[in-house]
Every structure is written in C-alpha cells, then in structure tokens.
Structure 1
Amino acid sequence: MDTLTRRTPGTRCPVLALLCLGLLGPLAARATDRAPPLSVGMIAASTAKKVIEDWKPFTDALARELQTPVKVLASKNYADISSALKDGSIQVAWINNKLAIELVESDQAAVFAQMMRLDGSRGYKSLLFARKDGPIQSLADVIGRPGVYSFGSGDKKSTSGYLVPNYYVFARNKIEPQKHFKQVSHANHLDNFLAVADGRVDLATNNTEELPRYQAEFPEKFARVSVIWESPLIPNDPIVYRKDLSVAMQQRIKKFFTAYGRTEAEKTTLKRINGLGSFRASSNFQLRPVVDLELFQALTNAMAENANSPEKLQAVMNGLTKRAARLDTVLNATRLDSP
C-alpha cells in the first residue's frame, strides 16, 4: 500500500492504512472552535494523489460551506475505506454500490447522493479488456480455452471489477476463475488496464467510467486494447455518510453535494472528477439492483458448493433468505425518499 501524505506545507507524515490526507490549514485555524474536522474518503481508481488533487476544489468549498476543516483520504484498497467508515475515521465517502451494501446493512451509513455523468446517465458498465493483437478476440475464446490465459480481476469489493463480471461472465457459464485461468491477480482499474496494454495479463476487468481517462492520458496504450465484453447497466456510485452524524450536519452535507456544479468553475471541477456533471439526491434504494445481483450470485454459489449436501444447502439458503428480508426492509424504508 502506498504511503499516506499529510498535505500541510513543509511536512510529510507516513501513516499505515490510508494513502493521502489533506488538511485545510488556514481554515482549520479559524474553525477549530466551531466543529470537529470532517473526514471524506474516496476510492482511488488511479492514484491517491491524483484523486486528492481532482477533488481539492470541491473539498475546499465543502470546508468553507461547513465552516470546519475537511480531511481528505483516498486509497486503492476498498477495505481501507470500508474499515475507516466503520470505525468512524471517515464520516463521508465516495464508495461503490457493493461496499455501500455492507455499510447500509450494518446500519452504519446511508446513501444520500449519486454520481451523475456529464451526459446525465445514471449508470455505467463493467468491461473485459484484451489486447487487440492478442489471441482473445471474444468471450467465446476465454470460455473455450481453460488453463491458457492469465486474468486480472478487480478488488473483491469492487462492483464492476469483481461482482458483476463474476456473475454475468463466470457464474452464468459455470466457470470458477481460479480453476479456469492459469493465473489470477487482483488490482485496481488503472493497473489492470496497463497490465493488458503492456501484455502482462491476457484479460482484465474494467469499466466504462475509466475509458475517457485512459484514452486521454495513455493514447498509445489505449490503442492496444479492445473491449470483448460489456455488462448490463450498473447504477452510478453512491455517496454515503455515517448515520451518527447529526441530522443537521447530514442535511448541510447533502445540500452542498446536490447543489454543487452550477458555476463554470464547479462544472470544470466535476468534469475533472471522473467526468461528472452533478450529484443527484439519492437513498439506500439505489442499491436494489446490486443487492439482487449479489444475493443471486450467493445463491448460485451455494447451490454449486453444496450440491451433495442438502442439509448444508438448506442452512445456507435459510441464511440468505433472512439476509434478503433484512435488506429488503432497509432498502424499502428509503424508497419513498428516492427521486
């Protein structure tokens, strides 16, 4: 894991766990008596440094609006963001739908906004990349040649890098990646893209949100890869806050996010942040499609793993039934609040 860096002039502070920390020094001096610092966490699809830089105008404006210091933390490791949210080190975060399910299910966080693309779209797609000049030209090539290719999967908590392709590509075709490929590795989207472009893996997961950035930043490498599969639409990533924040603070944070993007400068900032156009008010109910997908995959896996043990299968299915009912209650409780 990379080193976390404190963004205070003249100091550099290595910390274990998260990657980057930005403190708004001048504002902190004025605001320390008004409210405790707010920590905002982000998943780094590329590098933590770049994510922090892209978001800085936004988080600076958030600090001014709330009149409190804002700390910014980013990590390539999904578990870092999840753990920090669970232990209270982070109060607000950009995460993915799969990770949001865990936090909503444990009643520690709630979805309050959703990322919206410049074109107004509310979703994106999972992809599989291969080299244009390589032996893999279609999904049939992957399925039909077990033990031949290397595969770059996403973080196991990634929606587009792991959950979606694991279900639509592998579970539906009765494939276990660890057995089907000669080698399986796990990395973030940028590292997987570069691994395919440089010929270090034959196939890797990715998503449509990252394509414009790769094309702009790595045009030569982008020309080497091709998309051999894309998924159905996945809901855009949610923004969540911890439920132990005061209601007043939650409302102020939500109002800031959903109002941001009205000036030209704000529009430029959002465009730099993964090509965003705005943040749309949302709720836990936006997780419904991914919850259904995760539960169905869990059921499929349980049936395959316990085919010769009806007792074990029944026990697993009972647990899944209870979990499905619990999640249904949590999601439907916010359904009327959904835009």
Structure 2
Amino acid sequence: MKRILAAGLVLAGLTAPLAAQEVKELNFGIISTESSAGLAKSFEPMLKDLEKAVGVPVKAFFAQDYAGVIEGMRFKKVDLAWYGNKSAMEAVDRAGGEIFVQTTKPDGTKGYYSLIITNADNNAVNNLKDVVDCSKGLTFGNGDPNSTSGNLVPSYYVFALNKVDPNKCYKRVVVSNHEGNALAVANKQVDIATNNTESMDRLKDVRPAEAAKLKEVWRSPLIPSDPLVWRTDLPADMKAKIYTFFLTYGRLGSDEEVARQRAILAKTSDGWGTFVPSSNAQLYPIRQLELFKTRLKVEASDKLSADEKAKQLKEIDAKLAALDEQMKKVPSM
C-alpha cells in the first residue's frame, strides 16, 4: 500500500513543493442524485474524517443539478467533488478539474449499470422493444443532461442505436434525478425512466416500499465506477493530504479504525468500498461513447447537406481515431 501511495503521489506531481496561498476551507461537491438532505446525511461522517486529516473545515456543496456542481468548480466554489463519469468529463474539460481516485463497491468491483425501469404492475413494458415502441404513447423520465447512467448511456444504447428521439416518441418527457425518477415510476406518474443499479440499491435501503414497486426492463453494458475530481490549481501540499486520506481510508490503522472507516464507506452514497488511484484516462470510454452518439446523430440528420454531413463525420472519425491511439498508449483506469 505504501508503494502504491508513493508512486501515486509522484505521478500526480504532489511531492514537489509549490508556493500557493493557504487553503482555509475545502468545499466538497456532491452531485444531486437524490435529495440534498439524504446525501448530506450519507456523506457527513466521511467528510468529518477528511476534515481531521487535512486540518481545515470541509463543507458539503450541493446544487440543484449536476451543472451547478460543475460550475461551482469552474468558479472555485468547489475544491473537490464526487461526480459521475459524464459530469467528471465536463468538470475536466470546462472547470479545471482532474480525476485522482475512483470509488469501488465493498466487494472491490469497479462498475455499475444504467437501467430503464417501469412500474412492476406495468404489463405493457417488459423489454427494450417495448421501451422504443413509439405507438404505446408512454411517458418518460429522463436523467440530468450531465448524468452518465441517467442520460448519456441510455441516449446511445437505447435511443441512438434504435433511431428514436425521446422528445418525438413519448407523450411526455420530464427530467429529474435518479431518486425523483424512481419515485415517479413507483407512483405511476411516468411509465418508464432511466436509473442505475447504484441508486436502486440505495432506494432498497432507504425506501424499500417504493423499490418493491419497480422492475428493470433494460440494463446497459458495465459503466466505470464514479471518480472523485479535484481542482488542478489546488496547492500541492493540500492535494497530497487529500490523496493520502482517500487512498488510506479504510485500509490503514488499527483493526478497529479500519472497521469503523469501512462501515462509514458502506453507508456513503449507495455503499462504497475503499478508493483506488485513477486519472483522466478513466474517461476514455465515456468520450468514445459521446462521439459514437454524436456520429449516429449526424449520420441520421436530414438537415445537413451531403457535403456538411461528410465533413462532420470526417471530423468525428478523426477524433475517434486519435482517442483510439491515446487509449493504446495510456489504458483507461
């Protein structure tokens, strides 16, 4: 563990001194997968331990949607944050963010699945074919535009590949977070909605009656586990403290302390295990998926001239080829 930590600090450039203004407080951004009250209760114990480790107050930062946390990092109101992969990509590209660790499950697995769910009583929707049948007049709960599992993944695998535009296919489309969509389906306010296995696990824990009213009708390929992202301009000494905290949390210390920390992690979000090192390379598959989705959209467009379509497709293919070369040199985490 010590060798891994030391190597990670060197790779992250955290062992060299860096003159910077003193950090007096850290704001930890938390994406809005459910109510802020539920998330605050879930994250508070871990953030209290982080506060002790880094020596400055650590405050949770909430926003109405994922974009609010991304913008918070962009304007330096958020110092580090828990994101999904899609929102992490936006934070890296637009808000000066950098992935430094990745979450895992208590059993050590590093991934989860996007879902389409419906009410257990809904006999008209049982599989993907039913989901994309526009003659059914369904109502649809979509996820936050910056959500990986609630928006990006289903927008490609469910809709783009089947040449379906949700806004044209469904009688009504609403947008909410994972918890909001699950409750809307359970209460029969919408017929189908996006979600993911992590949020379903948490719903079974906090609202088992509503969870029992849901059934899964589609599941995606495996999605990489969520990353933690910090601002690249944080002082190196603070980054070193943060990095050390997350990589040793639930790993080092007395048996009692390790057990206490792992119990805290198991109740954080949908239930986490220990953290593992990561980097922006984790986003390669997500970038690839975004480009594939865009390519299908351009290819199917009837608003572009043949020349313009060919030009855009050539540009997208060049980006995909460059990304493929990059992935060969630096494998995704």
Q: TM-score range by the shorter chain?
A: 0.7 to 0.9
CA distance in 1 between partners of 2:301 and 2:134 (Å): 23
CA distance in 1 between partners of 2:232 and 2:322 (Å): 18
Q: Cα–Cα, structure 1 residues 105 and 281, in superposed 2: closer, same or farther, change >3 Å?
A: same
Please tell me whether the aligned partners of residues 126 and 208 of structure 1 are also in contact (alpha carbons under 8 angstroms): yes
Aligned identity (percent) is 35
Please tell me whether the aligned partners of residues 285 and 332 of structure 1 are also in contact (alpha carbons under 8 angstroms): no
What residue in structure 2 maps to residue 105 of structure 1? 93
Please tell me whether the aligned partners of residues 147 and 180 of structure 1 are also in contact (alpha carbons under 8 angstroms): no
Tell me: higher relative CO, structure 1 or 2? Use CA pairs within 8 A at least 6 residues apart: 2
Q: CA deviation at 1:325?
A: 7.0
Gaps of 5+ in 1: 1-32
CA distance in 1 between partners of 2:322 and 2:49 (Å): 38
CA distance in 1 between partners of 2:162 and 2:321 (Å): 28
CA distance in 1 between partners of 2:314 and 2:168 (Å): 28
CA distance in 2 between partners of 1:118 and 1:161 (Å): 23
What residue in structure 2 maps to residue 146 of structure 1? 135
Gaps of 5+ in 2: 1-20, 252-257
* Equivalent AA in structure 1 for residue 79 of structure 2: Q
State the SS of the aligned residue for 2:240.
helix
* Equivalent AA in structure 2 for residue 114 of structure 1: Q
**Are residues 1:270 and 2:265 paired?**
yes
Deviations 1:171-199 (A, max 9, x none): 11110110111111100000100000000
CA distance in 2 between partners of 1:331 and 1:242 (Å): 24
Please tell me whether the aligned partners of residues 82 and 99 of structure 1 are also in contact (alpha carbons under 8 angstroms): yes
* Equivalent AA in structure 2 for residue 316 of structure 1: Q
Deviations 1:242-286 (A, max 9, x none): 111122222221111111113222111101112101111111111
What residue in structure 1 maps to residue 37 of structure 2? 49
What residue in structure 2 maps to residue 29 of structure 1? none
Q: Cα–Cα, structure 1 residues 327 and 90, in superposed 2: closer, same or farther, change >3 Å?
A: farther
Question: Does 270-279 or 211-220 show the bigger shift?
Answer: 211-220
Q: CA deviation at 1:141?
A: 1.7
CA distance in 2 between partners of 1:238 and 1:103 (Å): 11
State the SS of the aligned residue for 2:185.
helix
Q: Cα–Cα, structure 1 residues 35 and 166, in superposed 2: closer, same or farther, change >3 Å?
A: closer
* Equivalent AA in structure 1 for residue 263 of structure 2: T
Q: Cα–Cα, structure 1 residues 225 and 207, in superposed 2: closer, same or farther, change >3 Å?
A: same
CA distance in 1 between partners of 2:280 and 2:228 (Å): 10
Which of 102, 111, 128 matches 1:114? 102
Deviations 1:79-113 (A, max 9, x none): 10110111111110101111221232347111000
Deviations 1:112-148 (A, max 9, x none): 0001001211000000111121121222222234351
* Equivalent AA in structure 1 for residue 267 of structure 2: R
**Are residues 1:294 and 2:290 paired?**
yes
* Equivalent AA in structure 1 for residue 271 of structure 2: G
Q: CA deviation at 1:49?
A: 1.6
Please tell me whether the aligned partners of residues 95 and 237 of structure 1 are also in contact (alpha carbons under 8 angstroms): yes
With the length of structure 1 as denominator, give the TM-score of the two structures. 0.83
Please tell me whether the aligned partners of residues 86 and 108 of structure 1 are also in contact (alpha carbons under 8 angstroms): yes
Please tell me whether the aligned partners of residues 45 and 76 of structure 1 are also in contact (alpha carbons under 8 angstroms): no
CA distance in 1 between partners of 2:183 and 2:102 (Å): 28
**Are residues 1:211 and 2:200 paired?**
yes
Please tell me whether the aligned partners of residues 52 and 73 of structure 1 are also in contact (alpha carbons under 8 angstroms): no
With the length of structure 2 as denominator, give the TM-score of the two structures. 0.85
State the SS of the aligned residue for 1:136.
coil
Q: CA deviation at 1:166?
A: 0.8
RMSD (CA atoms)? 2.3
Deviations 1:42-95 (A, max 9, x none): 113111122122211211111111111212112340110110111111110101
What residue in structure 2 maps to residue 64 of structure 1? 52
Please tell me whether the aligned partners of residues 306 and 312 of structure 1 are also in contact (alpha carbons under 8 angstroms): no
What residue in structure 2 maps to residue 227 of structure 1? 216
Q: Cα–Cα, structure 1 residues 104 and 321, in superposed 2: closer, same or farther, change >3 Å?
A: farther
Q: CA deviation at 1:331?
A: 7.2
What residue in structure 2 maps to residue 254 of structure 1? 243
Q: CA deviation at 1:35?
A: 3.4
Q: CA deviation at 1:168?
A: 0.5
**Are residues 1:283 and 2:271 paired?**
no
Q: Cα–Cα, structure 1 residues 329 and 255, in superposed 2: closer, same or farther, change >3 Å?
A: farther
What residue in structure 1 maps to residue 145 of structure 2? 156
State the SS of the aligned residue for 1:162.
helix
**Are residues 1:81 and 2:76 paired?**
no
Q: Cα–Cα, structure 1 residues 313 and 254, in superposed 2: closer, same or farther, change >3 Å?
A: same
Q: Cα–Cα, structure 1 residues 58 and 330, in superposed 2: closer, same or farther, change >3 Å?
A: farther
Q: Which runs of 4+ in 1 moved over 4 A?
A: 321-333
Number of residues of Structure 1 aligned to a counterpart in Structure 2: 305
Q: CA deviation at 1:326?
A: 7.4
CA distance in 1 between partners of 2:129 and 2:321 (Å): 37
CA distance in 1 between partners of 2:185 and 2:319 (Å): 38
Which of 92, 107, 125 matches 2:80? 92
Please tell me whether the aligned partners of residues 71 and 95 of structure 2 are also in contact (alpha carbons under 8 angstroms): no
